[in-house]
Chain A
């Protein structure tokens, strides 16, 4: 039983399903803003599979259309944060002189609560996917950098690194050839966490009214919209919430699968 492979397969299947759903929703020209105020707050039925919201909009249409925005935000933030964070973490962990400066700057960024950074960015740059991704990613970078750095700090003392140094390998080749593979496992796990956290942070920003504008539905802003109606019309929060949970599960499985793949110690099965 190779867990790695199974997780990877399941994850890929689920994510593929989401992508297909997103494509169908976009191409079918469904209108996320089609309002029918006489039909507000209807529970799930044949007319509205996921029910309707307070303006009479079909939740299923909105959730399906929201798939692309939500996944895009998650993926974009994860890629950006992991790329920048890894570079910074490798540099900080390997070069002692850079360590102090880089980590203090990271401290500085982390000292700014994500919400504050996000709102300030959005109010200056306007509410759009780019500014939201930028705002969330900038907060996640230090997290990645710290973890990479701590792993590098431990690995730096490993015999094989000493050996490589003695063999006059350049720092870059050591970092890329030896350390990077060593951190990929943790990075994959963390990356999935970052992606999921980004999607949740986007929901919080929507909760505060500072996320993407409502005519771009995301699971986050559909949930935020239905927040105070939770006891009366739980479907508005539950359906996007379930989609979010499944997406996050898939992303985590993906991370696990990748981690198991990259970690050589895993060839032995429990």
Chain B
């Protein structure tokens, strides 16, 4: 197991480097922020002067090497637009995004897995069709529509929850949770649907297996059959999809953070990409690469725990 973790992390390094390098070049191909920073009356000459002052006209290779050397020292540099330390900008946004990702993942799993299993159990009946249709409906509606509807109903009309904003965990569990309810539900619609469908599909495949029939024939209760036989065997695709879903959450967070005005990483990423603020984008990419390696490693470990036949 340790060997697996170690070899994975080691193998991840060149990939992260490759992603960073590719992103570096790719980003610069899309232009730099200076012209829009300067405003309406900027002349080409002023733009050129400022680019030079900010070091943006050096050869790409040189800029990349310089960046790498700084990163190795833990310095992610300074934002082109705000001149603040990139790490400071990124770290102050982590709380909101992680909180949202955490609540969404938890909520989705606890809703979706039972839902999927239930649908599989009653496969072909109206219960199954209803669940599947609901899933499809929830899935085809864009997050912002769900978000606006939730706010309109629960915040404006019923006044149960705040319309927007984020309160740190340290400032009170109550506020933290209350501000996260609507964004979590909005984000979960897609995650729940995805996991529920795969759970159902996977459970159906398992239900057709002989060992399930055997277990039932031996008099095991339905609960036992599902928990001990169906779930563990159906788990592999479910776990994959949960891992993938977390990735979805981290990217889908952009729209949700915009609608609910959460000061998160998603918003920062999109604004920095649109503003061509390279140092920030690169730092965020770096973080995301690590996160993905970690999540994938975790899912692979869970696979090998669930399915002893899988060997690496």
Q: Point out residues on A near B: beta carbons under 8 Å.
A: 1, 3, 100, 103-105, 107-108, 110-116, 119-120, 123-124, 143, 146-147, 150-151, 153-154, 157, 185-186, 189, 193, 196, 200, 203-204, 207-208, 210, 223, 227, 230-231, 237, 241, 244-245, 247-249, 252, 256, 259, 263, 265-266, 268-270
Q: List the 3 shortest-distance A-B pairs measured between CB atoms, nearest first.
A: A248-B140, A265-B208, A245-B140
With A113-B288, A186-B237, A189-B197 as known contacts, state yes or no: A124 contacts B274, CB within 8 Å: no
6 new A-B contacts, CB < 8 A, other than A105-B18, A116-B269, are A107-B12, A113-B251, A120-B29, A124-B30, A153-B303, A200-B190
Q: For window 204-254 of chain B, which residues contact chain A by CB distance below 8 Å?
A: 205, 208, 236-237, 240-241, 243-244, 247, 250-252, 254
CB of A46, distance to nearest CB on chain B (Å): 27
Separation in Å of the A182 CB from the closest CB of chain B?
Answer: 10
| A123 lies within 8 A of B285 (CB) | no
User: Once bound together, how far apart are the Cα atoms of A119 and B252, in whole Å?
Assistant: 15
The answer to whether residues A154 and B236 also contact, given A115-B273, A270-B123 and a CB cut-off of 8 A, is yes
Chief secondary structure at chain B's binding surface: helix
Separation of A227 and B136 alpha carbons in the complex (Å): 22
Task: Name the residue of chain B whose CB is nearest to the CB of A263.
Answer: B205
Distance, CA A256 to CA B129, complexed state (A): 12
Q: Decide if B142 touches A110 in the complex (CB within 8 Å).
A: no
The answer for the CA separation of A177 and B42 in the assembled complex, in Å, is: 63
Q: Are A249 and B145 in contact (CB under 8 A)?
A: no
- Which of B48-56, B64-72, B80-88, B289-297 lies at the binding interface? B289-297
Q: How far is the CA of A231 from the CA of B147 in the complex (A)?
A: 12
Given A1-B124, A105-B15, A189-B198, also A207-B140 (CB < 8 A): no
Q: Please state if B124 and A269 are interface contacts (CB–CB under 8 Å).
A: yes
Residue of A nearest to B209 (CB): A265
Q: How many A-B residue pairs have CB under 8 A?
A: 154
**Nearest CB in chain B to that of A230: its residue:** B148
Q: Which of B19-27, B158-166, B169-177 contacts A (4 or more CB under 8 A)?
A: B19-27
Q: Which residues of B contact A115 (CB under 8 A)?
A: 251, 254, 269-270, 273
Which single member of B240, B266, B288 contacts A111 (CB below 8 Å)? B288
Flag if A116 contacts B30 (CB, 8 Å): no
> Which of A1, A107, A150, A263 sits near B303, CB closer than 8 Å?
A150
Q: Which of B241, B274, B292 contacts A110 (CB 8 A)?
A: B292
Contacts of A150 in B (CB 8 A): 236-237, 240, 303
Are A207 and B255 within 8 A (Cβ)?
yes
B29 engages A107 (CB within 8 Å): no
Known: A104-B15, A196-B140, A249-B140. A111 touches B269 (CB 8 A): no
Q: Which residues of B contact A247 (CB under 8 A)?
A: 140
Task: Mark B182-210 against chain A: 1 for CB-CB distance below 8 A, else 0.
Answer: 00000000100010011001000100100
Interface residues on B, range: 35 or more
A124 close to B19 (CB less than 8 A)? no
In the assembled complex, the Cα of A182 lies from the Cα of B237 at a distance in Å of: 14
Chain B neighbourhood of A252, CB < 8 A: 136, 139
| B139 close to A107 (CB less than 8 A) | no
Q: Which residues of B contact A (CB under 8 A)?
A: 11-12, 14-16, 18-19, 23, 26-27, 29-31, 123-125, 132-133, 136-137, 139-145, 148, 152, 190, 194, 197-198, 201, 205, 208, 236-237, 240-241, 243-244, 247, 250-252, 254-255, 266, 269-270, 273-274, 281, 285, 288-289, 291-293, 296, 303, 307, 309-310
Contact check, B15 vs A107: say whether CB atoms are below 8 A apart.
yes
A255 to chain B, nearest CB (A): 9
Residues of A within 8 A of B292 (CB): 107, 110-111
A259 touches B11 (CB 8 A): no
Q: Contact between A248 and B12 (Cβ–Cβ < 8 Å)?
A: no
Shortest distance in angstroms between B124's beta carbon and chain A's nearest beta carbon?
A: 4
Residues of chain A within 8 A (CB-CB) of B143 are 204
Please determine whether B124 and A120 come into contact, CB atoms closer than 8 angstroms: no
Q: Which residues of B contact A231 (CB under 8 A)?
A: 148, 152
The interface residues of chain B lying within 8 Å CB-to-CB of A146 are: 240, 243-244
A104–B12 CB distance below 8 A: yes
| Residue among B142, B254, B281 making CB contact with A241, cutoff 8 Å | B142
**Cβ B270 vs Cβ A208 within 8 A:** yes
| Contact present for A112 and B23 (CB under 8 Å) | yes
* Whole-angstrom CA separation of A157 from B308 in the bound complex: 11
- Beta-carbon contact of B237 and A151 below 8 Å: yes
A237 with B281: CB separation less than 8 A:
no
Cross-chain contact B270 with A154 (CB below 8 angstroms):
no
The reply to whether A113 and B269 contact each other, CB–CB distance below 8 Å, is yes
CB of A116 within 8 A of CB of B142, answer no
Pair A204/B142 contact, Cβ less than 8 Å = yes
Minimum distance in angstroms from A203 CB to a CB of chain B: 5
- Given that A193-B194, A248-B139, A270-B123 are contacting pairs, would A108 and B144 also be in contact in the complex, using a CB cutoff of 8 Å? no
Q: Which residue of A lies closest to B122 (CB)?
A: A270
**A123, A150, A203, A268: which has the most chain B beta carbons within 10 Å?**
A150
